Structure 1
Amino acid sequence: MNLLFVDDNRACLETLVDIATGLGHETAVAHDGAGCLALATSERFDRIFLDISLPDADGREICSQIRTAGPSRDARIIAMTGHTDFVEGSGETEFDGFLLKPISLQALELFLLTR
């Protein structure tokens, strides 16, 4: 699978990429909303793991923009957050699921194994 991880926390990204590549997936990373949109509009990703609190954008807005057009519009987009209030109100977004930080290996594997 081709995966995009988006988070401004570089240590978090390194860990997620290490796990995903260890499981045999192709990975790309972005550290902000602009980088995410540049990648998602130029390349097709199967899954996008998107932090909702980015330094230059709200992850919910980025998710909506990806959904409008481009090669990744049909990707499963998973919100990553440390905000439990987002999780409680997650039914109002275009995300296909969420991962609550800190992200466990089992939770990440679940999103990588499901279609």
Structure 2
Amino acid sequence: MAKILVADDSKTELAFLLDILKGTGHEIVTAVDGLQAEERARAERFDLIFLDVIMPNKNGFQVCRALKRDPSLKQIPIILTTSKSGESDKFWGKKQGADEYIVKPYEPVDILLAVKKYLGGI
């Protein structure tokens, strides 16, 4: 069983992601803003991180960049989930170190395929 961090300031989006991920059998930990996400990522050991881009205190781009610059955390796959769908946004997300960039609204299968890609079978 892997440990996944899910960060989103929208209760609706957070609940939707949790509903999708609950069937994977992995342990899920949540954060409601960027600062809390970064703090949890540094305090606990995660195998995969989902970050919303637009969050208070620190946005997902900032959190992703900070975690990918940390030698002890840079190997953790980070998936940005966001409504920012422009090509420049996707480019910027990848430049910050994101392993995947999933645009909202997404289908549950998009999330499950990403989990399978980085953590193996579901």
Which of 101, 108, 112 in structure 1 is aligned with 2:111? 108
Which residue does the alignment assign to 2:98? 95
- TM-score, structure 1 as length reference: 0.89
**Residues 18 and 56 of structure 1: is their aligned pair in 2 closer, same or farther, counting only changes over 3 Å?**
same
- TM-score, structure 2 as length reference: 0.85
1:87 aligns to what SS in structure 2?
helix
User: Unaligned stretches of 5+ in structure 1?
Assistant: none
Superposed displacement of residue 92, structure 1 = 2.5
Superposed displacement of residue 88, structure 1 = 5.5
The answer to whether the aligner puts 1:5 opposite 2:6 as a matched pair is yes
2:112 aligns to what SS in structure 1?
helix
Q: Percent of aligned positions with the same letter in both sequences? A: 29
**Residues 27 and 72 of structure 1: is their aligned pair in 2 closer, same or farther, counting only changes over 3 Å?**
farther
User: Unaligned stretches of 5+ in structure 2?
Assistant: none
Matches within 5 A, 1:7-26: 7-26=8-27
Give CA-to-partner distance per residue, 1:51-81, whole Å, 9 cap, x none: 1111112211111111233754321001111
- Aligned-pair Cα RMSD in Å: 1.7
Alignment check: 8 A CA contact 2:94 2:101 kept: no
Which residue does the alignment assign to 1:27? 28
